[in-house]
Structure 1
Amino acid sequence: MTKHQIEVITSVERRRRCSREEKERLVAVTLEPGASVCEIAHWAGIHVSQLFRWRKELCQIPAPFFPVEVVEGKRQAAAVQAA
């Protein structure tokens, strides 16, 4: 009878932890003209969907709010002309 060595893999590869600076750097590279997100993700060793998720999270820009004054009648036309 022959003995064979068997390797048991008990877990999947550990998750990488990227700093915010590294995420921002990779996202900035994807925003350059002609950049390929797929190529950048492959080069960085991460999944494409992860890079798109970082882009979504880091590129959120809150909608600006502007003060509004509600006026009636003829004063409304004057307010529009003054702006």
Structure 2
Amino acid sequence: MEIITGVERRRQWRDEEKLRILAELNEPGVKCSEVARRHDISRGLLWQWREAQRRGRLAAEPPAFLPLQVVPELAAPEPPGGSAALPYTGAADPGVEPDERIEIVLPDGTAVRVTTTISAGILRRVLAAVRT
């Protein structure tokens, strides 16, 4: 039994502590309730942290700005057979899906191409993996 004599205050958890506690959940045979009890927190709070981690809001490394350079659109590749092609106008051919990709070139020359529909959380994880 715990007797609180003063004003109860919420604990402030650093991201490193949250991630360390969440890492315990990944060990084999560990139950969420055991981890919560060991750290004197609710299971619901663990699930909130896990959800934040899954969505990319809770990460070991804070987000950083990267330099960005916009380059002009590249010309269409020459068709096979060596015949001269018509100049590329940017208009899509009938029945051909437009190429909606983003290319990110890192300072070391690594290029990452992703679709425009990628979520911010997944893109964060991809860039973090590429930088390591």
Fold conserved (TM > 0.5)? yes
* Cα root mean square deviation, aligned: 2.5
- 1:35 is displaced (CA, Å) by 1.1
Residue type at the aligned position of 2:54: C
- Give the match for residue 29 of structure 2: 34
Q: 1:52 aligns with which of 36, 47, 52?
A: 47
- Distance across 1 between alignment mates of 2:23 and 2:16: 10
Cα gap change, 1:44 to 1:10, in 2 (>3 Å): closer
- Give the match for residue 24 of structure 1: 19
Alignment length (residue pairs):
57
Question: Which structure: larger Rg?
Answer: 1
Q: Which has the higher helix share?
A: 1
| Structure 1 spans left out of the alignment, 5+ residues | 1-8, 62-71, 73-83
Task: Decide which moves more: 19-28 or 31-40.
Answer: 31-40
| Runs (4+) off by over 2 Å | none
- Distance across 1 between alignment mates of 2:24 and 2:54: 13
* TM-score normalised by length of structure 2: 0.37
- Distance across 2 between alignment mates of 1:55 and 1:35: 15
Q: Which has the higher strand share?
A: 2
- Distance across 2 between alignment mates of 1:22 and 1:59: 16
Residue type at the aligned position of 1:28: A
